Amino acid sequence: MGLVLSIIIAYLLGSISFSYIIAKKIKKVDIRQHGSGNAGATNTLRVLGVGPAITVLLLDAGKGVAAVFIAYWITGSQFVSSSSILVETGMIAASAGLAAIIGHNWPIYYGFRGGKGVATTIGVVASLTFFPALISGIITIIIIATTRYVSLGSLAFMTLTPILSVTLFDHYPIGYFYLLCIVALLSYWRHRSNIQRLLTGKESKIGEKKTV
């Protein structure tokens, strides 16, 4: 019961699109109809500017953090039974985190048209595997600052975190590694057009603002 409730709450929480809400509030526009068409912090930066973009980034990451800790709060520190299989609380929290990311990408409130889930993923991953996420985050910032490609930095973060979680920090449950791999594959899929543009040299760089 705790597993199902945690996943439902996480998905509904993840489905809240702060970029959509803030764009509607500030400029009365659908963020998905402008810039890159993505409902996330990077497109918010292009369309609305730095302040709204930082706000969206923090709120979207906060969704991921909240989903994980709400799951911990619901299930406590005990083991729960689901279909006669004992499911560790940490894995329930991880499942809730994944549900929040899916909610962001395919939100029920907005016709299942959402963002790419990078900020929400950062919140989830940092809550579950803090130090791998921290190191990956530092490397990501360096990549973005050097190349000005947010998509490249995002993909680097998704790639490095599972690798670091099983190499430098192998005390995490193996289930976390599998979750991180799933999240990485999901991110590659959502960024497939970015990857194609990166390979052809046509990807937009940060700071290239598109007007409404």
| Spatial CA neighbour of 184 closest among 168, 152, 203, 161 | 161
Residue 212 to residue 134: CA distance in whole angstroms? 35
Buried/exposed code over 151-186 (b: 16+ C-beta within 10 A; e: otherwise): bbbbbbbbbbbbebbeeeeeebeeebbebbbebbeb
Query: What's the pLDDT at 111?
Result: 92
Direct distance between the N- and C-terminal alpha carbons of the chain, in angstroms, rounded to an integer:
45
| 168, 59, 118, 64: CA torsion to nearest 10 | 60
Three-state helix/strand/coil letters over 129-160: CHHHHHHHHHHHHHHHHHHCCHHHHHHHHHHH
Query: What's the pLDDT at 83?
Result: 41
Domain boundaries, the chain: 1-117, 129-203
CB burial class (10 A; 0-12, 13-18, 19+) of residue 17?
buried
Tokens for 191, please give them. Answer: 């960024």
Residue 68 to residue 61: CA distance in whole angstroms? 11
| Spatial CA neighbour of 123 closest among 86, 80, 68, 43 | 68
Sign of torsion, CA 191 196 198 204? negative
**Under 8 Å between Cβ of 101 and 187:** no
Query: What's the pLDDT at 208?
Result: 62
Query: What's the pLDDT at 88?
Result: 60
Q: How much is the pTM?
A: 0.85
Averaged over successive runs of 10 residues, the pLDDT of the chain (212 residues) comes to 90 96 93 89 90 95 95 69 48 91 95 92 93 95 94 94 88 85 92 92 75 43
Query: What's the pLDDT at 18?
Result: 96
Q: What are phi and psi of 81, to 5 degrees?
A: -100, 130
Q: What's 163's DSSP letter? A: H
